[in-house]
Amino acid sequence: MTIKPLIILPDPILRQVSKPVERVDSEIRKLAEDMLETMYDAPGIGLAAVQIGVMRRMLVIDLSKEGDPKEPQVFINPEILASSDDRSVYEEGCLSIPDYYAEVERPATVTVKYLDANGVEQTVEADGLLATCLQHEIDHLNGVLFIDHISRLKRDMVIKKFTKAARTKATI
């Protein structure tokens, strides 16, 4: 397993739409392992392949509490089939936008169809943190960031801050 470098805002790759995984094979399973290792190292609870520069519709999630056994989940070609009218608000953060958090309102429950790490089609009815995390990571696969769900003023401030930090880093 390999820890991969994270893609950080304002990198334009984060705004690209990821391509479907054609077939689930050993290469895809290795990618899932690397993604999980990278996510645990960060540390985070979810990671989309685009966040490590791989333009494939794939994400990993682990919502286990610190000290509990790990519960890694792999979602390949995830697709939201349905979402509730009920809404929930969570304070979200993102490994690609380090140290920035904001409250985001999303559907409270979602139904997601996906392939697991063995290529078997699955469907999950998700609520709570899993629903929020799935929506956040699926957004990544569509070139959408959680800051796109906050006010334009706050979003512009965050983008400006990270653009400035990237320029400063580039000149060092």
Give one DSSP letter per residue of 96-165, joined into a string.
TEEEEEEEEEEESEEEEEEE-TTS-EEEEEEEHHHHHHHHHHHHHHTT--GGGGS-HHHHHHHHHHHHHH
Domains of the chain, first to last? 12-171 (3.90.45.10)
Instruction: Write out the two tokens for 103.
Output: 């409250």
Pair 112, 82: CB distance under 8 Å: no
Q: What is the pLDDT of residue 172?
A: 64
Its pTM stands at: 0.96
- Which residue numbers are catalytic? 137
Q: Where are the alpha helices (DSSP H) in 13-127?
A: 26-41
Pair 147, 159: CB distance under 8 Å: yes
Chain mean position to CA 26: 22
Instruction: Write out the two tokens for 25.
Output: 């094979």
Question: Per-residue pLDDT for the chain (172 aa), expressed as one digit of tens each?
Answer: 799 999 999 999 999 999 999 999 999 999 999 999 999 999 999 999 999 999 999 999 999 998 899 999 999 999 999 999 999 999 999 999 999 999 999 999 999 999 999 999 999 999 999 999 999 999 999 999 999 999 999 999 999 999 999 988 777 6
Please state, in angstroms and rounded to a whole number, the distance separating the CA atoms of residues 172 and 168.
7
Q: What is the pLDDT of residue 169?
A: 77
